[in-house]
Amino acid sequence: MTNLHANLEMVRGTIADAAARSGRSASDVMLVAVSKTRPAELVAEAANLGVEAFGENRVQEAESKVPRVRELLGRHATWHLVGTLQRNKVKGAIDLFAILESVDSLRLAKAISQRVFGRSVPILFEVYVGGDPSRPGFRPTQLLEQAPSLLALPNLDVRGLMTVAPLGSSADQARAAFRAVHQLRDDLQERHPDTNWSQLSMGMSEDYAVAIEEGATSVRVGRAIFGERA
């Protein structure tokens, strides 16, 4: 068994155990393998081991990796943008990714809306609940206030929320952050019932089990699958 195979088995077991603790099935939680800085050959190996969705942080890296992985596999993989999206990279992101998880401002949402033609782009709104003013993401009250304007934009297929726990969080602090985002999602669902808020992308290698216990429907795991970066 390769390290990648063993790591995937461990991560899948952790997902199943955490899902069971929250009264759900492992099939209720999507695994997004975050492949930033990893070579296309390793991504293709993970895909051949059953990983269906991959996350990239930068459009520039994905522009070469996505077609190379497709060439290696002989088929398409599903790609999620999970890193900060610059407005001048919106067109490339729309073409490469199945979903943009990191829509973190009304300004960015407008830029995406204006660059889409003939279809709707699946998105998540990125939320930040910590105290660092430099971190990207809507603050909860800001998203509640701007939701009507965001939901009025054409060509956007809103699917839910994404969050990253504050840097340096303990397990309890991460749990509180995930719980707050889950509650925000419920508040938005109540206020805007015609929008699909079902997805909660929460949790990374260090805290994905806690995120699942707090309702995550997808987790973004890189290091625990691919190992430490060089």
Q: What is the dihedral of CA 211, 104, 169, 210, to 10 degrees?
A: 0
Whole-number Å distance between alpha carbons of 221 and 46: 12
Q: Model confidence over 184-213: pLDDT tens digits?
A: 999 999 999 999 999 999 999 999 999 999
Query: Domain spans of the chain?
Result: 3-226
pLDDT beyond 90 at 228: no
Single pTM value for the model:
0.96
Predicted confidence at residue 1, as pLDDT, reads 54
Whole-number Å distance between alpha carbons of 183 and 170: 20
The CATH number that domain 3-226 falls under is 3.20.20.10
Q: Model confidence over 17-28: pLDDT tens digits?
A: 999 999 999 999
Predicted confidence at residue 191, as pLDDT, reads 98
Mean pLDDT of 36-41: 96
Q: Model confidence over 48-58: pLDDT tens digits?
A: 999 999 999 99
